[in-house]
Structure 1
Amino acid sequence: MPRSAVVNQELRERSRERILTAALEVFAAKGYEAASISEITAAAGVSRGLVSYYFATKEQLAAELLDRWLDGITGILTIEGTPDERLAGIIDGALLAAATTLPIQRLAITLMMQPTTHDVFARVEEAKAARVSLVEDAIRDVFAARGAADPAVEEMLLRATLEGVTVKLAIYRDTFPLEAVRRRLYAGYDLPAPASPLPFASPAVDRLRAK
């Protein structure tokens, strides 16, 4: 009995997800430039033809992963509450993402910064321009509601700070005191201290050292 269209669609989606998962693993292990489609094919356990069917080039794989990363950032649009509660939610959401989805965070930062792949990021960001602007405006609205003189600068500074934390966490994962940094961010914005710690271990160290 032939498979239904629904079953076929589910199988296609699973294959596509397996390829994307493998691509992220290979990019994280070897770097975008050094990674090859053959290695991604092997990691996914699928044929080269199937990879090419979904993604004609390695750049398309990276673009899809970046697209999802940008979609993840737009999660802040669902945060509700007072301006202070929303700011705390933005900080916590970014730190949780950094700690729990570090491979995609690292890939995004790498593609943004490397001269050979910056254009890939720029194209994906342009395609998502409307949603990115919504995120920027949501953060600016929070700062405006808190009485900031220049909400746009405050938004840029917060995002730069949180992205810097992600970079440091990627380099010093075993020694980065994320909870202490979180509490310092709260204090810097005159937010009430968090009622409970983030749900993962955070070392109490006073030196960043790679291990």
Structure 2
Amino acid sequence: MARSDEQNRLARERARGVILQAAIETFAERGVTGASIAEITQRAGVAQGLVNYHFGGKDQLVVAVIDQWFEALFGIPEVPGDADLRLAGIIDGAIMATGYALPLQKVVLALQQQPATHRLYAQAEDRHHERAVAAEEKVRDIFRERGAADPELEEIMLRGTLEGILLKFAVYEETFPLEDARRWMYRLYALPEPAQPLPLTGPARATPLRLRASGVVTGASKGADAD
């Protein structure tokens, strides 16, 4: 029986999503330069020609990854309430995104910095300019309500701090104490102590607390040995 137009559309969307997820995972493991279309399609379980069909090539696939990151960023739900509640919601949303979407976060972090792909990130930033400005203004409004002397700088420094947490977590992964970092930010902004921890997985905080990338490498090696 021939498939309907709707079934064909859904099949195309599924194939595109599978390729995109495989690209994110492969780029996170091997870097954009080191990853090949063959590796991506093998992971996705699809023919190589589907990358050209859905995306047009590797650069366009990278652009699609960046666009997905922007969509995820703008898709973090807003918490209703006063300025403190909304600020706490932004912190929690960013920490949760760091914990649960690490491959995508790592890829885009690298794309922002590497000369070969910075241009693609900058172009994506231009495409999402209006939504980015609207998101920035919402955060600046929070700081205005809180009586900040320089809401623009406060928004930039909040973003910089959250991006710093992402960077450290990308390097140290589960040895980085995300929940403690969250609570530190609450204290930084004089927010009420959160009643519950975020639903993040990971080992208990080590004592004494020391960040070591070797712990991540050792864990990955053990996983590879088990395979």
Please confirm whether the aligned pair reaches a TM-score higher than 0.5, indicating the same fold. yes
Q: Is the 8 A contact 2:111 2:118 kept in 1?
A: yes
Greater mean deviation of Cα atoms: 74-83 or 62-71 = 74-83
Q: Is 2:210 the counterpart of 1:207?
A: yes
Alignment match, 1:141: 141
What is the CA–CA distance in structure 2 between the aligned matches of 1:100 and 1:76, rounded to whole Å? 13
SS in 2 for 1:19: helix
Alignment root-mean-square deviation, CA: 1.2
Alignment match, 1:25: 25
Q: Is the 8 A contact 2:19 2:40 kept in 1?
A: yes
C-alpha deviation, 1:38, in angstroms: 1.3
Structure-1-length-normalised TM-score = 0.96
Alignment match, 1:104: 104
Alignment match, 2:223: none
Residue ranges of structure 2 left out of the alignment (5+ in a row): 216-227
What is the CA–CA distance in structure 1 between the aligned matches of 2:192 and 2:130, rounded to whole Å? 33
Residue deviations 1:141-179 (CA, integer Å, cap 9, x gap): 100110000100000000000001001001111211111
What is the CA–CA distance in structure 1 between the aligned matches of 2:35 and 2:155, rounded to whole Å? 35
Greater mean deviation of Cα atoms: 38-47 or 151-160 = 38-47
SS in 1 for 2:8: helix
Alignment match, 1:125: 125
What is the CA–CA distance in structure 2 between the aligned matches of 1:200 and 1:2, rounded to whole Å? 45
Greater mean deviation of Cα atoms: 61-70 or 160-169 = 61-70
Greater mean deviation of Cα atoms: 157-166 or 33-42 = 33-42
Q: Is 2:64 the counterpart of 1:64?
A: yes
Q: Is the 8 A contact 1:28 1:106 kept in 2?
A: yes
Aligned 1:113-192 pairs, distance under 5 A? 113-192=113-192
What is the CA–CA distance in structure 1 between the aligned matches of 2:64 and 2:79, rounded to whole Å? 25
Q: Is the 8 A contact 1:77 1:135 kept in 2?
A: no
Structure-2-length-normalised TM-score = 0.90
SS in 2 for 1:33: helix
Q: Is the 8 A contact 1:76 1:135 kept in 2?
A: no
Residue ranges of structure 1 left out of the alignment (5+ in a row): none
1:76 and 1:154, CA in 2 relative to 1: closer, same or farther beyond 3 A?
farther
User: How many pairs were matched up?
Assistant: 211
Aligned 1:81-100 pairs, distance under 5 A? 81-100=81-100
For 1:46, the aligned partner's letter is: V
